[in-house]
Amino acid sequence: MVGVSLGHCFHFHIHRPCLDQNMFSFRVLVLILGCLWLTEAATNTLNHGDKLNLSDSLLSQNGAVSLGFHRLDYGRYWDGIVSGYYLAMYYTGDMSLNHSIWLANRDDPIADDSGVLMVDDTGLKINRTGGNPIQLFSSQSTSITINSSDMRLVLHNSGNLVLQGTDTENGENVVLWQSFDHPTDTLLPEPMKLGVSHGRRMSLTSWLTDSIPASGSLTLEWDPVGNLLVVRLRERVLWSTGDLMSLDGNRIYNFTYVSSPDEQYLHYAIAIGPFALEENPRLLLRHDGSLVLEGSRSNITGPNTCDGNSTENGCKRWEGPKCRSKGDKYEVRSITTRPTDIYSTNNTLMGNYSLSINDCKDICWNDCNCMGVNADRELGCQFLSGPYDEGALDGLSFHVIIHNRSESRTWIWILISITIALTIIVLFSTLFYLRRRSQARKEEKFLLDLMTSEDASDIRELQTGNKGGFGPVFKGTLGDGLEVAIKRLSRGSTQGLVEFKNELILI
């Protein structure tokens, strides 16, 4: 239990020996009750040997931030339980919203109200009944020689929970551990950092669902190379922006990034003046990927608006196997599966409650046989893998992968079709030309053979006549008495076959 010394409470003198006994008893009672109230009053420090349990809390000096054990209801069964106890930090006026600004044991909930935070010789830890201690800091993990009895935990006005100690070699006060080095899903104003500081990387990780604070699948990171805020789904980049001014059009949040040999990080301060924020400043990464600027009039357009294909507002197009091409995207559709096809849905991962809807969409995108994901399931995956119908009023809501071919791809197919058609036309034209040419050559060869044949050289009825340009001309009579003129091509003629054809046409 957190307490203060009672010595000053009972150090008093009685100067009136004739004081009424009843009045004296009343004043003593009031004094004792006041001292007891002081012992129960919240403080911002947990000293060595002190304990903080469910009935206690730490309160920052300005009263804005509190730390204590809280029970969170999940609203469903998760990991065999429906609720868990957490060492949580809240803005004091914000606890009804059921969303903390920091959690010490987000991935290791305490099953009951037995949690106790304490500082002892081993470091900083949470003890509980029926489970191993949750060690937040171990004295053996530091190379600094410290006097463990001097260790103390302090909740600062900034929302930073700091374990301090004294270096026995030089007597300096040193920071042994601090919550700012272990953020959850919330970035508070400076001095909290997002990025890399002295080899330690700080990033935000979303809750698993809106009511389950376990680490989700989305992270918010600072990319110092491109000066970008980046939201990732595991290894996949969903969204990014490098324009710090676009984070808050009202300029309530003044973002600044720092680059030095040991540190590269982003932080922000709250504006002073007409844009000043009264209370509860924070940048929150929600479980669906939306980014919330608490107290600002406008939030950041985060990856919750991205569909896998869009590149607007910082969205990144999803890469995937060859079956996923440019233009493919997720759309929410109301569908019904066909009763005759028992393989329309795949339920093999439906019971895996460590997978959020974002994980399921990522798994489906990388599976060419997957057509969509049940949108109504927060945890576990139900995949669409077979025939379905759309538009039913009693249908199920699914994120369906729509194969929307882009205009450029359509033009590519048009050009390919035109090229194939032209190739066929050229091919048939060439074949027709070669066939005609072959026939013409056969005809020319036949005429040439006919005109130079020696078979008629001994025709007796032919009489030698005038000699033309192609050779001698003969006069003869056919069997029916018809007189004819016969021209015979001479091998020594200077005329060509074309001239001979023309003369035949004239005759």
- Span 39-93, pLDDT tens digits: 445 699 999 999 999 999 999 999 999 999 999 999 999 988 999 999 999 998 7
Average pLDDT along the chain: 81
Residues 1 and 77 in one domain: yes
Local confidence band at 299 (pLDDT 50, 70, 90 cut-offs): low
The total number of structural domains in the chain stands at: 4
User: What distance in Å separates the CA atoms of residue 63 and residue 49, rounded to the nearest whole number?
Assistant: 24
Q: Taken in order 91, 96, 99, 102, is the CA torsion positive or negative?
A: positive
* Type of residue numbered 223: D
Local confidence band at 412 (pLDDT 50, 70, 90 cut-offs): confident
Say if 14 falls within a structural domain.
no
DSSP bridge pairs for 331: 400
DSSP bridge pairs for 215: 207
Say if 420 falls within a structural domain.
no
Residues 177 and 30 in one domain: yes
CATH code of the domain in which 47 resides: 2.90.10.10
Residues 177 and 195 in one domain: no
Taking the mean position of all CA atoms in its chain, how far away is CA 439? 69
Say if 426 falls within a structural domain.
no
Local confidence band at 35 (pLDDT 50, 70, 90 cut-offs): very low
Hey, is 183 helix, strand or coil? coil
Instruction: Please provide residue 281's backbone torsions phi and psi, each rounded to the nearest 5 degrees.
Output: -75, 140
Say if 221 falls within a structural domain.
yes
Interval 157-205: pLDDT, tens: 999 999 999 988 888 899 999 999 999 999 999 999 999 998 899 999 9
Residues 349 and 306 in one domain: no
User: What distance in Å separates the CA atoms of residue 163 and residue 146, rounded to the nearest whole number?
Assistant: 12
First to last CA, the chain: 134
Mean pLDDT of 258-275: 82
Interval 450-501: pLDDT, tens: 555 555 444 443 444 455 556 666 777 777 788 777 766 665 666 666 666 6
Residues 294 and 364 in one domain: no
Residues 5 and 152 in one domain: yes
Say if 430 falls within a structural domain.
no
Say if 250 falls within a structural domain.
yes
Residues 351 and 237 in one domain: no
pLDDT score of 343 more than 50: yes
At which residue do the structure tokens 């030698």 appear?
464
Residues 32 and 173 in one domain: yes
Residues 284 and 306 in one domain: yes
Cα dist. 108→87, 129, 136, 214 in Å? 10, 13, 12, 8
Local confidence band at 98 (pLDDT 50, 70, 90 cut-offs): low
pLDDT score of 148 more than 90: no
Mean pLDDT of 130-157: 91
pLDDT score of 18 more than 50: no
DSSP string, 243-285: -GGGG-TT--EEEEEEE-SSEEEEEEEE--STT---S--EEEE
Say if 282 falls within a structural domain.
yes
Mean pLDDT of 216-239: 92
Nearest to 381 by CA among 405, 402, 363, 407: 363
Q: What is the pLDDT of residue 37?
A: 41
Q: Range of 375's domain? A: 318-404
Q: What is the pLDDT of residue 413?
A: 73
Local confidence band at 276 (pLDDT 50, 70, 90 cut-offs): low
Which of 125, 149, 182 is a domain's end point? 182
Q: What is the pLDDT of residue 490?
A: 62
Cα dist. 88→30, 62, 66, 286, 494 in Å? 34, 18, 8, 17, 115
84-93, 289-298, 336-345, 385-394: which has the highest mean pLDDT?
84-93
Which of 317, 352, 382 is a domain's end point? 317
Mean pLDDT of 372-376: 95
pLDDT score of 32 more than 50: no
Does the reported pTM lie above 0.85? no
Residues 53 and 165 in one domain: yes
Q: What is the pLDDT of residue 125?
A: 97
Local confidence band at 367 (pLDDT 50, 70, 90 cut-offs): very high
Which of 301, 317, 333 is a domain's end point? 317
Residues 234 and 95 in one domain: no
* Type of residue numbered 485: A
Q: What percent of the chain has pLDDT over 90?
A: 48
205-214, 310-319, 411-420: which has the highest mean pLDDT?
205-214
Residues 308 and 390 in one domain: no
